[in-house]
């Protein structure tokens, strides 16, 4: 006796179709699952047999063999419980339905036959839609997340019995639908705003430039100057997420289990991830025996904030080079490789010295660090990593007059409007180059889009010679200058744009040259 259902296995942030085949024959009582199952899949034998019995079906003492094809792909997780149970019921002639060939089936079974939500449902829904199946049968708690794929019929069920009754057309279950536009409208209701930050007008300007061009930013200042508060408001001035960005970001969060049980089915606000400085390189970059996304991938299309940058282990910081350069993370294993997207903006903060008060005249605080201690503290950050930070900005201590005054300045919505205009200019400029921001320009594109007149060129030459800037700072200054010009809707890079961009590299000489 033979039965077959269609399901999916999540690989990285994508899903591959799996055929769940069940064969039942006489002989010694045995239940075997083959096809490279992980331990969690093998444990489904006990869950499936108990669920079948407790739902009133027969599970006789026979020889059960379940094959998960293709057999050369490792299967992980508990999502194959429901398709395994249904294939066994079909093989034992307790389920009669042609719908098993039309629907993808996914879900974890409880011992009583009820269904529990699973991780990674959005990649599965995307693959089921691409494979042109009639629909996806899944646990009710996962329905809202899967329903963002509007062209897919999402059939939510709560138990094994309900799934059987639907497949046999004994009950009718309407496809689950949501309004994606209403979800995106919630973006405007942010509880934090750039207006909350008092003073720090120069830093706010640097953040606007960084957000407009996608530039990485390093903030240096004493404790309590507002570095963390500023960083947390970065997503509020970013351009609103597109549906494509939202879907890709949600897929990453889905396979990590961060969307299960949440009220929001889509990640509509740009991620802001702030890992602790004790994080391991695997947790930051991703990995494990069955690779999962790390913090850099969870920050995709958003911000990765590293507070107190020198406190991170040097080996952890060095693994950031590839994602900062390529926008992806590749994790290789003996049998296959996984690629996770990691196109994020890195924002970092640090003190200028171990005590935090070097170079800052604050009443009641003076630097107690020796020059050797300061050099040792700063040497924890390598040159190649600093080379990928486009903007360095000092964050001075906030004066009492600014703290006691009423909030003044611009709201995040006003800044974001200018950022949006700048991004539209960049998208038009790079529409044939497959890049999306000035920070992604290569040397050829820099020569094409960042040409300088004689006055600007001479100004940049004098600045580099006087400040002792390295050659690697040259391209960074041109990229940032291009963004500043875009914010002013200026086609050419003018001397004032160069001057402002050079100002954002002034810390090169002060701390590391």
Q: Where does a domain end: 167, 199, 230?
A: 167
- The sign one gets for the Cα dihedral 13, 16, 17, 21 is negative
- Whether residue 97 sits in one domain with residue 152: yes
* Gap between the Cα atoms of 214 and 255, Å rounded: 26
Structure confidence at residue 512 as a pLDDT band (50, 70, 90): very low
- Whether residue 448 sits in one domain with residue 413: no
- Whether residue 93 sits in one domain with residue 190: no
Strand partners, 292: 287
* Gap between the Cα atoms of 385 and 388, Å rounded: 5
Global pTM value: 0.84
**174, part of any domain:** no
* Gap between the Cα atoms of 229 and 47, Å rounded: 48
pLDDT tens digit sequence for 412-441 = 989 999 999 999 999 899 988 878 889 889
- Whether residue 147 sits in one domain with residue 269: no
Output the 3-class SS for 72-134: CCCECCCCCHHHHHHHHHHHCCCCCCHHHHCEEECCEECCCCEEECCCCHHHHHHHHHHCCCC
Structure confidence at residue 19 as a pLDDT band (50, 70, 90): very high
Give the side-chain half-sphere CA count within 13 A for 119: 17
**pLDDT for 184:** 64
**172, part of any domain:** no
- Whether residue 243 sits in one domain with residue 370: yes
Pick the more confident residue, 448 or 242: 448
- Whether residue 483 sits in one domain with residue 510: yes
- Whether residue 209 sits in one domain with residue 98: no
Domain that holds residue 388: 186-420
* Gap between the Cα atoms of 170 and 154, Å rounded: 18
- Whether residue 464 sits in one domain with residue 343: no
**431, part of any domain:** no
| CATH number reported for the structural domain that contains residue 95 in this entry | 3.30.230.10
**428, part of any domain:** no
Pick the more confident residue, 366 or 230: 230
pLDDT tens digit sequence for 117-145 = 999 999 999 999 999 999 999 999 999 99
In the chain, how many domains are there?
A: 3
Look over the chain and give the mean of its residue pLDDT values, rounded to a whole number: 88
* Residue 204: CB atoms within 10 Å: 19
- Whether residue 205 sits in one domain with residue 136: no
- Whether residue 399 sits in one domain with residue 251: yes
Tell me the range of 151-165, 274-288, 290-304, 374-388 where mean pLDDT is highest.
Answer: 151-165
Structure confidence at residue 266 as a pLDDT band (50, 70, 90): confident
Pick the more confident residue, 434 or 31: 31
- Whether residue 210 sits in one domain with residue 277: yes
| CATH number reported for the structural domain that contains residue 386 in this entry | 3.40.50.300
**98, part of any domain:** yes
Q: Where does a domain end: 115, 132, 167?
A: 167
- Whether residue 214 sits in one domain with residue 108: no
**432, part of any domain:** no
């Amino acid at each position: 006796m033979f039965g077959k259902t269609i399901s999916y296995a999540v690989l990285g942030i994508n899903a591959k179709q799996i055929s769940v085949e069940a064969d039942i024959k006489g002989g010694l009582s045995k239940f075997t699952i083959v096809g490279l199952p992980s331990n969690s899949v093998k444990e489904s034998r006990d869950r499936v047999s108990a669920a079948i019995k407790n739902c009133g079906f027969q599970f006789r003492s026979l020889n059960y063999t379940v094959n998960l094809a293709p057999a050369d792909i490792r299967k992980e997780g508990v999502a194959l419980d429901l398709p395994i149970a249904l294939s066994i019921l079909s093989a034992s002639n307790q389920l009669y339905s042609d719908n098993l060939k039309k629907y993808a089936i996914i879900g974890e079974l409880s011992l009583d036959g009820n269904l529990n939500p699973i991780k990674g449902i959005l990649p599965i829904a995307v693959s089921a839609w691409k494979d042109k199946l009639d629909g996806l049968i899944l646990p009710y708690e996962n329905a809202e997340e899967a329903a963002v794929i509007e062209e897919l019929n999402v059939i939510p069920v709560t138990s094994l019995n309900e799934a059987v009754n639907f497949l046999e057309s004994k009950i009718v279950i309407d496809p689950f639908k949501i309004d994606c536009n209403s979800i995106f409208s919630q973006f405007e209701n942010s509880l934090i705003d750039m207006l909350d930050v008092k003073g720090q007008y120069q830093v706010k300007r640097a953040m606007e430039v960084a957000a407009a061009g996608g530039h990485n930013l390093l903030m240096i200042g004493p404790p309590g100057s507002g570095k963390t508060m500023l960083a947390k408001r970065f997503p509020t001035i970013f351009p609103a997420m597109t549906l494509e960005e939202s879907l890709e970001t949600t897929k990453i969060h889905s396979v990590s289990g961060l969307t299960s049980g949440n009220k929001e089915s889509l990640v509509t606000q740009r991620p802001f991830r702030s890992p602790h400085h004790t994080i391991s390189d695997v947790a930051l970059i991703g990995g494990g025996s069955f690779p999962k996304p790390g913090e850099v991938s969870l920050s995709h299309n958003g911000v990765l904030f590293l507070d107190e940058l020198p406190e991170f282990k040097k080996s952890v910081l060095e693994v950031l080079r590839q994602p900062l350069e390529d926008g992806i993370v590749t994790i290789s294993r003996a049998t296959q490789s996984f690629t996770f997207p990691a196109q994020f903006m890195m924002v970092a903060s640090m003190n200028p010295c171990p005590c935090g008060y070097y170079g800052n005249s604050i009443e009641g605080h003076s630097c107690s660090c020796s020059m050797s201690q300061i050099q040792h503290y700063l040497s924890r950050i390598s040159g190649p990593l600093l080379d990928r930070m486009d903007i360095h900005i000092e964050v001075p201590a906030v004066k009492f007059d600014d703290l006691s005054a009423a909030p003044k300045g611009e709201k995040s919505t006003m800044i974001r409007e200018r950022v949006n205009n700048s991004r539209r200019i960049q998208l038009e400029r790079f529409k044939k180059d497959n890049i999306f921001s000035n920070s992604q320009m290569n040397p050829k594109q820099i020569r094409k889009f960042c040409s300088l007149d004689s006055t600007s060129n001479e100004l940049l030459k004098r600045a580099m010679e006087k400040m002792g800037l390295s050659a690697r700072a040259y391209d960074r200054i041109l990229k940032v200058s291009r963004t500043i010009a875009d914010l002013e809707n200026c086609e050419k890079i003018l001397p004032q744009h160069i001057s402002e961009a050079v100002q954002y590299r002034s810390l090169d000489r002060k701390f590391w040259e």
